[in-house]
Chain A
Amino acid sequence: MAERRVPLAKRHRKDRIFRRGCQIIASMSAGILAILLIAIVFEGVGALNANFLSGAPDPDPAVAGMFPAIMGSLWLLVLTMLVALPLGVAAAIVLEEFRPKHKVLRKAHAFIQLNITNLSGVPSVVFGILGLTVFVSMFGLFGNERDPLLETGATYVDQFYNQGDFIIEVPIDDPMAPETVPVDGMTIYTYEGTAMELNLLGDDDDWPEDEEIAMRSLYSWDLPGRNKERNWWYFRLPFGRGVLAGALTLMLVILPIIIISSQEALRAVPSSLRQASLGLGATPWQTVRRVTLPAAFPGILTGAIIAMSRAIGEAAPLLMIAGIVFITRAPSNLMDDFTAMPLQIYNWAGRPQKEFHDLAASGIIVLLTALLLFNAIAVFLRQKLQKPLS
């Protein structure tokens, strides 16, 4: 029995006050978010048109677009997930399903687990620095970007600009070979790639009148410049400041997230199912492959999508890899320079003119739409795929 009863009305009043207080605080946070969204839509919706999605950044804000940034983000996302998902799920399986039994190994297991948990809290800038040394320069073990140790998928040409402003190209096999010396009759190519025969003019010869001859003519003193053309399969060690290095750095950021969410999904699978499988004579791997992994799949997928939305919004580590550079086209190979949506937004927001701030707001709308889409897909899949397991 209570020694002194608090009047019932007083208890109800306290309850009301507390409930009201929580409601006000909760609606405040929702309100702040709403104001933010409204402001951004208000500012950004004006510049949001087809050209904004398909155009390239431009000094003139009226025609500037974020196509390269959208494509850059897409490249990053696909590459990041291609690497992070198998690695993360495999790590989660090892940590969760193949726990060591030996005492010393169990200590090591616990230590790794602790570190993964810690890594998920590390600021992403730190991963940026790591990516810079590990992926961009690769500890300097493979030379540098200009003089890489390994390079494939690049073709070299010596380019001449002749007196008539025609471009004449000579393919080069060895990038270190001395510059091409024009020889009469040698095979040359136009810029478009048509093969022709070189017409070498003597020092005293006049420039030919005939256009057909002029486009394949050179004086012996004409000097070439060496150009590198990268194919889509261009690959190089070290990676340099390309989209692959960016993706791998993002992979570092989201790997702990994927590992932890996959572990949680695996842990949610009732151990009675594992026992049933092992008891029927399945090997541990068969058990993972046929029972545990399928049962954990919806959870793993949801975690992966959440990780993707984290990756697409990251700016700090990419800033360290790519910097703020003026990029007007989508990446065309793994080593290509790139920009990404957050970088482009950051770039525009940092300019003094109001017009660019509006562009930044438009960019934010695009980014937020992508994020909301990811989260909606995650929720949808969770509802759709999650089945009772026992």
Chain B
Amino acid sequence: METTLVQESKPPKEKAKPVSALGMIAVDAAERRTPADEFADPSFEVQQLDFFYGDNQALTQVDMAIPRGEVTALIGPSGCGKSTFLRTLNRMNDLVAETRVEGKVLLDGQDIYHRQVDVVELRRRVGMVFQRPNPFPISIYENIAYGPRLQGKVSKADMDALVERCLHGAALWDEVKDRLHTSALGLSGGQQQRLCIARALANEPEVLLLDEPASALDPKATARIEDLIGQLRGDYTIVIVTHNMQQAARVSDHTGFFYKGRLVECTPTAQMFTRPEHQETEDYLTGRFG
């Protein structure tokens, strides 16, 4: 019934064409199976995702919805597939040889693994910050200008404004405003990591993926990153991997618990830490393993 309706309103020939500037294809609304229906408008919807490194299965049947404009934390013991899952969201896993993805990852309803999807544009929309700060060995200014310049020429005035805006956005402006043209490698680890966040913001992404962004930092720098995440919340959909449960509790709205490549449960953070649904989650949260 529903399928006929859709076909009437849109001839199938047009439906097969890319419908967005990204070359992405909208997935039929009827095909969608939202695992968590409480989000009216999720940013990401992951459906029955399997991921393999060669013959080694790293993710098994992951179903997850990531709410727009909120912070979702991924926790779990190391090696359980948190980073792998995060990298499936902007296809950084494509860089690893002999990997295989099965299932669907929908961004705004569009399957990012469809062969017509332009992965370059996907990664602009879904920014990533890595575990170890990795600024380019160039000036602070040039680091932020890097992303926008990939897409074309930007006037000096626009770039100056953008750099300032992004550094403000990453709560770094006051610390570096006098040394914008010095090497980014001269910054402390925490500042470098905030620079990496600012650099990602310059691309005007919709989603920010953070893979243990504070694990290489001292407690003070960690606190600043956590504050920053709080500030960015609302403007960006944020997914953060952390092995630090207190951090997850502090910064996130929702928490997903991964164990041995499966998403054991994904609930609002408060609920996860007070009334976990599964025994494994409770064992992990109470420190019985991991």
Contact = CB atoms under 8 A, between A and B. Distances in A.
Contacts of A286: 150
A29 interface: no
B128 A279 contact: yes
Interface residues of B, number: 27
User: Which residue, B95, B128, B132, has most C-beta atoms of chain A within 10 A?
Assistant: B95
B117 interface: no
Interface stretch (A32-40, A54-62, A268-276): A268-276
Interface string B141-170: 000001100110000000000000000000
Interface in A261-292: 270, 272-273, 275-283, 286, 290-291
B219 interface: no
A10 interface: no
A389 interface: yes
B121 interface: yes
Contacts of A106: 97
Contact of B185 (A278, A280, A388): A388
A99 B97 CA distance: 9
A275 B185 CA distance: 17
Contact of A276 (B98, B136, B151, B185): B136
Contacts of A291: 136
Contacts of B196: 276
A283 B97 CA distance: 17
Contacts of B150: 280-283, 286, 290
A390 B134 contact: yes
B97 A281 contact: no
B200 interface: yes
B147 to A, nearest CB: 4
Contact of A275 (B95, B120, B146): B95
Nearest to A280: B147
A280 B124 contact: yes
A281 B146 CA distance: 10
The 5 A-B pairs with the shortest beta carbon distances in the complex, nearest first, are: A281-B124, A272-B134, A279-B128, A280-B147, A281-B123
Interface of B: 90, 92, 95, 97-98, 120-124, 127-128, 130, 132, 134-137, 146-147, 150-151, 185, 196, 199-200, 203
13 contacts: A275-B92, A275-B95, A277-B136, A277-B146, A278-B95, A279-B130, A279-B200, A280-B199, A281-B122, A282-B146, A291-B136, A387-B137, A388-B185
